[in-house]
Amino acid sequence: MIFNRFKFSRDIGIDLGTANTLIHVSGKGVVLQEPSVVAMDLEEGVPLAVGEEAKLMLGRTPGNIRAVRPLRDGVIADFDAAEQMIKTFIQKCNEGRGILAPRIVIGIPSGVTSVERRAVREAGLAGAREVHLIDEPVAAAIGASLPVTEPIGTMIVDIGGGTTEVAVLSLGGTVLSESVRIAGDELNESIAIYLKKVHNLVVGERTAEDIKIKIGSAFPDDEFDNTSIEVRGLHLLSGLPRSITLTSGEIREAMADPLSKIVEAVKRTLERTPPELAADIVDRGIMLAGGGALVRGISDLLSHETGIFTHIAENPLLCVVNGCGVVLDDFKKLKRVVDTPDFIRNAIRD
């Protein structure tokens, strides 16, 4: 039996995110949470740094080093860098590993094409004996302890770095899903564009993200709207560095457009939901997961716009990776939710 061999390896669940990669090792829990960034030495063609160390290099590298984010909008944009990153992360957290290479479950956006799925699978095979893919909304729902295998309609909104996934789930499967390529990155971009237009100030990707984390908000709050922060950047008119003071109200105005598109995606999915499942969702509410759920007031915005109570998962950042871990721990029961290639499916059946 093929199952007898599984216990010799530590199985791994990966949330391969645009902004962060998280890894769950069976028996250990979440062991790695690092930015999805790789710094490559162009002369040698080898990775210099991966993760947190490489993120510090973004926008600060000399000509012979290139710091890249291998994923854009939830899919692999730079295959070689993604492969190196997955390989390095697996080596980092698979010390003292079993006799066999691990089985891996990777969470990916539900809207990706078959070519993009194959790219993720091939990148994962760099350090594994078999790779299974799971749609991120399904993994997030399992990780948020929603009853996905029961005949109850549940709605999950997973706002990541590159994509927002909206899905209605029931009986372990996806009834409806929508994947929009508007999420945390677009919120950062909208802040950078606003500063350029209104204040003639150019800021980098990291600064825009810091502003969003510190004073970003999605829903009016009289008390918080006056919170201010000092921001440094390059002034376009003088060409010199300069600092300005921003308020939370301004940042909400800057993020209004991408946030309204996320709300529209949720509304579109609700409109297409079958009536029985819609009744369940009204009863149970909408669950928010992913890093975007941490933006202040986003649950209030969705509740206000849809009229359905919206709650945030306990650990929104860890939902997908925890879901991958649960699938690995109970693979026999939950293997229906993963996208398994035919040749592996036949081996498991045998």
- Kindly report the average pLDDT of the chain as a whole number: 85
Check whether 54 is labelled as a binding-site residue: no
pLDDT at position 9, please?
A: 63
3-class DSSP state for residue 149?
A: coil
pLDDT of 5 > 90? The answer is no
Check whether 211 is labelled as a binding-site residue: yes
Q: Tell me, yes or no, whether 178 lies in a domain.
A: no
Q: What is the pLDDT of residues 199-219, one digit of tens each?
A: 999 998 889 999 999 998 999
Q: Tell me, yes or no, whether 165 lies in a domain.
A: no
Residue type at 100 in one-letter notation? L
Chain CA centroid to CA 301, Å: 20
Contact present, 150 and 171 (Cβ < 8 Å): yes
Check whether 212 is labelled as a binding-site residue: yes
Q: Tell me, yes or no, whether 288 lies in a domain.
A: no
Q: Tell me, yes or no, whether 97 lies in a domain.
A: yes
Span 308-324, average pLDDT: 91
Q: Tell me, yes or no, whether 332 lies in a domain.
A: yes
Check whether 245 is labelled as a binding-site residue: no
Q: What is the pLDDT of residues 147-198, one digit of tens each?
A: 888 889 999 999 988 889 899 998 888 888 888 989 999 999 999 999 999 9
Q: Tell me, yes or no, whether 304 lies in a domain.
A: no
Of all helices (H) and strands (E), which one includes residue 133?
strand 130-135
Q: Tell me, yes or no, whether 30 lies in a domain.
A: yes
* CATH, residue 86: 3.30.420.40
Q: Tell me, yes or no, whether 180 lies in a domain.
A: no
Check whether 218 is labelled as a binding-site residue: no
| Residue 333 lies in domain | 12-139+319-349
Check whether 163 is labelled as a binding-site residue: yes
Check whether 162 is labelled as a binding-site residue: yes
Q: Beta-strand (E) ranges in 147-227? A: 154-159, 164-170, 173-180, 201-202
Question: pTM of the predicted model, to two decimals?
Answer: 0.85
pLDDT of 238 > 70? The answer is yes
What total of structural domains would you count in the chain? 1
